[in-house]
Structure 1
Amino acid sequence: MSITGGVTAARLLARESDDVPVDIPRVPAREAAERELSRPMYHENDPNLLQRALDRFWDWVGGIFDAASGSAPGGVLGLLVVALIVVALIAALWWRLGTPRRAPGSTDSLFDDSPRSASEHRTAAEAHAAAGRWNQAVQERMRAIVRSLEERTLLDPRPGRTADEAAAEAGRSLPDHAHGLRVGAREFDDVTYGGRTASPEAYLRLRDLDLGLERAKPLLSGAAQGAAE
């Protein structure tokens, strides 16, 4: 065979090979596709990690809601009716029982661990009032009232007593001031545990109550029991 004939034959074989499909094995083909798809140009618009997490969360919530609505009578409408009934029951219990209050304990104690006399509490209250610190002034004045009643033996000194307890006990022997004592205890609780801000008027009411209690004469034990009944 001549050189020219060999070249012509090679060209004919090359043309024939171009028409034959190339059969690539499955594993190399998959690996090649994965390498191609892992290029950054294919992931420019993908959601970030936070978006993917939020999508999964809402898919989970939607699945729970779908399951609940499917099991509730009437589907979604039935689920809404059940939810409204539950809310109404909670509101009725709240209205009937009132706002939950903490049980009296060491954290609700009227006095701290450093006992002081009624006079010392009054002095501290006046100092706070002069500086415009009405919360502290109300607290110290209520403490002065209760300490004064203890000093007069109208109340037995008792660690851990709350303002409400002191007002209820003192009101039995001083019924004319029972309402003022309850109001004073409520003012103390509001500023101490309720996060409210006392007003100058609230402090003046407590100061007047303190002065009135100083002049008040308690009922005898039998008369106080009859007044309580």
Structure 2
Amino acid sequence: MRDPDRDEARDWLREELARPGYDQRESVVERVRRWFTELIPDLPLGTGALPSWFTWVFLAGILLAAVALVAFTTRARWRRAALDARQGTRSGAVLEGRLLTAADYRAGARAALDAGDHDAAVLDGYRALTAHAIERTLLDDRPGHTAHEVAVSLGPVFPDRAPDLTRAADRFDAVRYGDRRADAAEARAMLELDAALAELRPALEGARR
């Protein structure tokens, strides 16, 4: 028997590979469907087996459930992370970075108000009253005072202005950590509160010496 030439060998190989036993190409979807079909037995449905479309419907249901689970988990994690971030930033100190005197903060607040930067006026106004309370030894001279800690500490010292202090602390946090914009009235109110506290005599029983 003679050996085939190159063209004949190529034709024989093509014919051999064209046989059903060599046709193993199968899409991923078809493999999943076949795997699922082999995994579960045919269940009776009325008088016969489950229809062929049942596998696809069942797989689609599983896929939708998995997508919903991932979306719910991701959303829950995002909300928890956002809440943790808000809680973490709300614990930030009123006086942060390079500390200035009350007069410096007050001057910055007034300049910001004149320039129409109401956010900066609110923030520096509250920092001014905090720094002034420390300078008057009405507030502990320690780093890390939060806005509400300042309001709680100064409330008994200036009982008539305690509600104003609480509102000022809320406004500071809303602007500094809550992405809220202040308006001119809020900025002026903050500076007026600082000026009023500077003129008030503290209640000695509430002052921290």
Relative to the length of structure 1, the TM-score reads: 0.56
Report the CA distance shift for 1:129/1:63 in structure 2 as closer, same or farther (over 3 A). Answer: closer
Task: Flag the 1:156–1:63 CA change in 2: closer, same or farther, 3 A.
Answer: closer
Q: In the aligned structure 2, how far is the partner of 1:102 from the partner of 1:33?
A: 61
Matches within 5 A, 1:1-229: 28-30=18-20, 59-62=61-64, 102=87, 108-221=92-205, 224=206
1:121/1:143 contact within 8 Å kept: yes
In the alignment, the residues of structure 2 paired with residue 123 and residue 191 of structure 1 have an alpha-carbon distance, to the nearest angstrom, of 19
What is the CA–CA distance in structure 1 between the aligned matches of 2:181 and 2:103, rounded to whole Å?
Answer: 24
CA, structure 1 residues 156+199, in 2 after alignment: closer, same or farther (shift >3 Å)?
Answer: same
Does the Cα contact within 8 Å between 1:138 and 1:206 map onto a contact in 2? yes
Report the structure number with the largest CA radius of gyration: 1
Which whole-Å CA distance do the structure 1 matches of 2:87 and 2:24 have between them?
Answer: 63
**Deviation sequence 1:78-112 (CA, Å, 0-9, x none):** xxxxxxxxxxxxxxxxxxxxx9862688x611111
Give me the identity figure in percent: 30
Q: For structure 1, list consecutive stretches of 5 or more residues without a partner in the other structure.
A: 1-24, 38-56, 66-98
Structure 1 position 34, deviation (Å)? 7.6
Instruction: Kindly state the Cα deviation for residue 188 of structure 1 after the two structures are TM-superposed.
Output: 0.4
CA offsets 1:199-224 (integer angstroms, 9 cap, x no match): 11101111111111111111122xx3
Change in Cα spacing, 1:104 to 1:63, as seen in structure 2 (3 Å) is: closer
When residues 33 and 219 of structure 1 are mapped into structure 2, their CA distance, relative to the original with a 3 A threshold, is closer
63 and 197 in structure 1: CA distance in 2 versus 1, 3 angstrom threshold = closer
Q: How many residues align?
A: 148
Report the 3-state secondary structure (helix = DSSP H, G, I; strand = E; otherwise coil) of the residue aligned with 2:156. Answer: helix
Structure number with higher helix proportion: 1
Superposed displacement of residue 60, structure 1: 3.5
In 2 relative to 1, CA 167–60 (structure 1 residues): closer, same or farther, beyond 3 Å? same
Partner letter of residue 103 of structure 2?
S
Partner amino acid for 2:107? T
Hey, what's the Cα distance between the residues in 2 that align with 1:194 and 1:117?
Answer: 26
Higher relative contact order (CA 8 A, sep 6+): 2
* Unaligned stretches of 5+ residues in structure 2: 1-14, 27-58, 68-82
- Find the aligned partners of 2:65 and 2:163 in 1 and give their Cα distance: 56
Pairwise CA RMSD:
3.5
Scaled by the length of structure 2, the TM-score of the pair is 0.60
